[in-house]
């Protein structure tokens, strides 16, 4: 069972070196950040409320207030680097994938481990379906297997190995999707707004879309490089299905979130791209690179770089827009998460 620290920490500070926006800096991690993601907007009677989770090579994913970056708690229990961390839509559950050959599901209110899903190799990706209190979880990683676990028995810290509990008593049923199709490690999984459709990005340089009803691939697209990020973003023109963004090599790929395999845009850049996030309503996208320490903001239509955000002291490995699109978060090799305002006027701690 995980220990959960609820003591308030003064970890949100202002960075001093930027171009236009002074970011908030979230301290607390001790090694490189591997992944950041947000919950959906929660109904609060008018004000914005949502949460952010960060994965890190220090083994300890952290939960924060998504609007302010204030630390809420640290999930303690993994024995290796955490590569992926996601929240359920309602932020009641968190899921993490780790180099300790496991994925874990956590209660975000208590910090307790609800279940540990043992794998035979590093777990690089986790994903929940788009629903409150989800009952299933998808995982993938170095085994090249896409699995979907039934979480209906996820309680009391049950430990399961590929669907069969280690102690022979409790079980965590799971099934594999597309057995044998992935020819490289699965680096990312996203669940579309249609709960029957999932997308995977793998080291065989393919993006695949899966229909869970048929348990088979319904579309695929080759990319020019190893995929380094794959996320579901705010849709163009308010499209509720969103945009799937992929970074691979020196390329950014944008797919229609509601049409499996439909490429909307392919943008070639002059530098390697480590991460990409899109705000379709603002027609902007943000990238990080393994070769510099800056955040690059681009025009979606003209494909021109508009500005750079400076403040990180290492490559930006992960980036993600908040669910309302009014800020984005970046995670870096320097062990910090930064939050950048992306709207006019006051917002959150920016006054």
Question: Looking at residues 101-120, what average pLDDT do you find?
Answer: 96
Residue 227: burial class (beta carbons within 10 Å; 0-12, 13-18, 19+):
buried
Express each pLDDT in 165-185 by its tens digit. Answer: 444 435 678 999 999 999 999
Q: What percent of the chain has pLDDT over 70?
A: 89
Express each pLDDT in 12-35 by its tens digit. Answer: 332 223 346 799 999 999 999 999
Check residue 237 and report its DSSP letter. G
How far is the C-alpha of 73 from the C-alpha of 39, rounded, in Å? Answer: 15
Question: Looking at residues 84-88, what average pLDDT do you find?
Answer: 98
Q: What is the widest separation between alpha-carbon atoms in the chain?
A: 58
Q: Is the pLDDT of residue 157 over 80?
A: no
Instruction: Please report which confidence band the pLDDT of residue 6 belongs to, taking 50, 70 and 90 as the band edges.
Output: very low
Express each pLDDT in 268-325 by its tens digit. Answer: 999 999 999 999 999 999 999 999 999 999 999 999 999 999 999 999 999 999 999 9
Q: Is the pLDDT of residue 265 over 60?
A: yes
Strands (E), 144-274: 146-150, 158-161, 164-165, 174-177, 186-191, 197-202, 206-211, 216-222, 227-233, 243-248, 251-256, 263-268
Question: Looking at residues 63-79, what average pLDDT do you find?
Answer: 97
Q: Is the pLDDT of residue 207 over 50?
A: yes
How far is the C-alpha of 5 from the C-alpha of 23, rounded, in Å? Answer: 25
Per-residue pLDDT, 172: 78
Calculate the dihedral angle through the C-alpha atoms of 53, 193, 201, 96, rounding to the nearest 10 degrees: 30
Q: What percent of the chain has pLDDT over 90?
A: 82
Per-residue pLDDT, 15: 29
């Amino acid at each position: 069972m995980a220990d959960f620290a609820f003591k308030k920490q003064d970890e949100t500070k202002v960075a001093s070196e930027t171009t236009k926006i002074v970011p908030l800096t979230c301290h607390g991690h001790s090694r490189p950040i591997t992944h950041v993601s947000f919950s959906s907007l929660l109904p609060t009677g008018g004000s914005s409320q949502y949460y952010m989770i960060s994965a890190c090579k220090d083994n300890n994913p952290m939960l924060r207030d998504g609007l302010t970056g204030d630390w809420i708690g640290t999930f303690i229990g993994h024995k290796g680097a955490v590569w992926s961390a996601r929240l359920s839509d309602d932020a009641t559950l968190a899921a993490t994938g780790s180099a300790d050959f496991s994925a874990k599901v956590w209660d975000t209110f208590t910090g307790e481990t609800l279940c540990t899903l043992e794998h035979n190799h590093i777990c690089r990706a986790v994903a929940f379906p788009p629903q409150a209190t989800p009952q299933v979880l998808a995982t993938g990683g170095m085994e090249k297997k896409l699995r979907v676990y039934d979480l209906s028995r996820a309680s009391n810290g049950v430990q399961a190995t590929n669907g069969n509990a280690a102690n022979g008593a409790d079980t965590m049923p799971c099934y594999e999707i597309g057995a044998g199709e992935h020819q490289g490690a699965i680096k990312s999984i996203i669940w579309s707004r249609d709960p029957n459709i999932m997308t995977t990005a793998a080291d065989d340089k393919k993006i695949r879309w899966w229909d869970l009803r048929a348990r088979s691939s319904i579309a695929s697209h080759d990319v020019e490089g190893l995929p380094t990020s794959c996320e579901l973003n705010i849709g163009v023109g308010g499209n509720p299905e969103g945009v799937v963004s992929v970074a691979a090599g020196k390329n950014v790929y944008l797919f229609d979130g509601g049409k499996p395999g439909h490429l909307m845009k392919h943008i070639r850049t002059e530098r390697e791209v480590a991460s990409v996030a899109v705000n379709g309503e603002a027609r902007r996208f943000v990238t990080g690179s393994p070769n510099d320490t800056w955040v690059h903001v681009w025009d979606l239509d003209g494909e021109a770089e508009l500005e750079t955000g400076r403040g990180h002291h290492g490559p930006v490995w992960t980036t993600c827009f908040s669910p309302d699109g009014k800020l984005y978060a970046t995670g870096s090799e320097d062990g910090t998460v930064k939050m950048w305002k992306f709207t006019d006027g006051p917002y959150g701690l920016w006054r």
